[in-house]
Structure 1
């Protein structure tokens, strides 16, 4: 299988962000009040600059790319600043129940993956209605890539899509693979997890879950898992008909280069940028896994230059 690598046309890219204007905005959606930062370029720029929606990855990752479990990586804050330095506005938001975004019903069992998909669509519509903003694109990172793919299955104003470290398999396949590959997991635990996933795929609830698997499969999180199992990234990307860029680092400990290859195979029209030496939070990382993970807590590390160049050049071409 051949991967088409995006050829960048910019000879040099300044990574020092220019001054940018930002303001806090909120959006009322069914069941939630969402909070976001709209960042626009400052200085010479088009009257209505292009704008991208940045969708965060899984778990309690906030609009800036900080996660209490892994550290203040600041991935989306840094991305937004660099986009603004090159004339591209962005909106990054706290997903419902995270950061400053609130829920009408905060119970875990009341949450659904579909809610995140609908929230992304609502933000895309909102961006298209702003008189001072131009063409709209979307950037999804990690699970945010799956949310973006799902959101674009219905008509939206988005004219370009960037997938950063996005998985090519649904969450069930990822859990099965990771549990099976970990030699520390006893066979009976792997078998139980597979049986639970089978039941969730049939729309059932599993009340009895071993304590070791409770963080993954506690009954209160099962509605979210059941809804997310319906989304297959390869099938979704095959239906995308707007310019698409797939970006993947080869030192990502969470998403594989193989994921990028599978997504590219499912959508041959997509461009692909493989970033050598880059990890899941889009920064250069050592081969040592511990050193790699340590970068998640270092907000001062810049996004890798080649990756940023690929994203900027793609968006400038697609959102003209």
Structure 2
């Protein structure tokens, strides 16, 4: 009897899992040779299907929200949750992944503007299909600014998730001041040079990861964008989200964005960290979540986004 009961439990559990994952299909889709991603399509189709385009954060972060040695599946889990709520999602790899696979990545040639153009290319690809009632760009972290600029005049709505409210030089300087205050003066000088549009010869090896010669052109192209200035240009429904356990982007950044665009919706999610996980412990627990792909995204995030999308 015990074996039968256990078998029935396993069968019902498997059925429950199947039903949950069967609410959408998941397909690999390439917009072009450099932009490849995953399209999550709800099984329930109607004339008011909505699409969210997810843009990943800084560095070599892939369509699922992961980097080498740091797998958390943040974007994948968010996409799946939204698809289960009957919202289509397209999450794509930055062009650097295709370039690395082809062995022709030239870091010095990367530009923030190129990533903006890529986001516009993805958006145009889906707009041409005339398949979706609305198309919303949702950017995470650095992707929030990329998406913000790309959304202007092109998307039906915009969502900032853990996006900075200040230009990258101010954010970087604040981070250095907290983590390595003895480097603040040198970093401030270097950022001022880059902000003027000029590169420099780096002499301090401690700052190589931040200011190596091959990455300086990218910072120059990034530093010219002020999120508060850009969000004022938007004339579409806007949602600003941040978690109060985010140790990378403070909630003050979201508040600055909201001050610049007061008609935007602002949502600060309690206990949510930078990668959408629920954190009820200290910074050690917070940091450990960055390498835990089995930890689900906090339920309030897809719920807030779904409510926003359904109101469009």
Does TM-score exceed 0.5, indicating one fold? Answer: yes
Q: Is the 1:33–1:102 contact (alpha carbons within 8 Å) kept by the matching residues of 2?
A: no
Counterpart Cα distance in 1 of 2:133 and 2:238: 18
Summarize deviations over 1:202-245 as a string: whole Å, max 9, x none. 11111233100010000110010000001100111111111011
Match of residue 177, structure 2, among 180, 185, 194? 180
Looking at structure 2, the residues matched to 265 and 162 of structure 1 have their Cα atoms a distance apart, in angstroms, of 16
> Alpha-carbon deviation of 1:98?
2.4
Q: Which of 9, 18, 25 is equivalent to 1:21?
A: 25
State the match for 2:10 in structure 1: none
Q: What SS does the corresponding residue of 2:262 show, helix, strand or coil?
A: coil
Confirm or deny: 8 A CA contact 2:202 2:211 kept in the other structure: no
Corresponding residue number in structure 2 for 1:190: 184
| Cα distance change of structure 1 residues 76 and 139 upon mapping to structure 2, 3 Å threshold | same
Counterpart position of 2:108: 109
Change (3 A) 1:239 1:204: same
CA distance in 1, matches of 2:72, 2:84: 20
Q: Give the superposed CA RMSD.
A: 1.9
| 5+ long unaligned stretches in structure 1 | 1-15
Give the secondary-structure state (helix, strand or coil) at the position aligned to 1:246: strand
SS, match of residue 37 in structure 2: strand
Alpha-carbon distance in structure 2 between the residues aligned to 1:120 and 1:147: 7
Aligned to 1:316: 310
Using structure 1 for the length normalisation, give the TM-score.
Answer: 0.87
Give the CA deviation at 1:168: 0.6
Deviation per CA, 1:172-217: give whole Å up to 9, x if none.
11111111122x442xx22111111111111111123310001000
Q: 17-26 or 86-95, which moves further after superposition?
A: 17-26
- Aligned with 1:97: secondary structure? helix
Report the CA distance shift for 1:191/1:291 in structure 2 as closer, same or farther (over 3 A).
same
How many residues were matched structurally?
294
Distance in 2 (CA, whole Å) between partners of 1:110 and 1:256 is 31
After TM superposition, the structure 1 = structure 2 runs for residues 28-47 of structure 1, keeping only pairs within 5 Å, are 28=32, 33-42=34-43, 44-47=44-47
Deviation of residue 139 (structure 1)?
0.7
2: distance between equivalents of 1:301 and 1:287? 14
TM-score by length of structure 2 reads 0.89
Q: What is the aligned partner in structure 2 of residue 96 from structure 1?
A: 95
Q: Report how far residue 101 of structure 1 moved.
A: 7.6
Which segments of 5 or more consecutive residues in structure 2 lack a partner in the other structure?
1-19
The structure with the greater share of residues assigned to helix is: 2
Match of 2:121 in 1: 122
Q: Secondary structure at the match of 2:272?
A: coil
Q: Which has the larger radius of gyration?
A: 2
Deviations 1:76-101 (A, max 9, x none): 11111111111110110001112688
**Which one has more relative contact order, counting CA pairs under 8 Å at least 6 apart?**
1
Does the aligned pair in 1 maintain the 2:99–2:105 contact within 8 Å? no
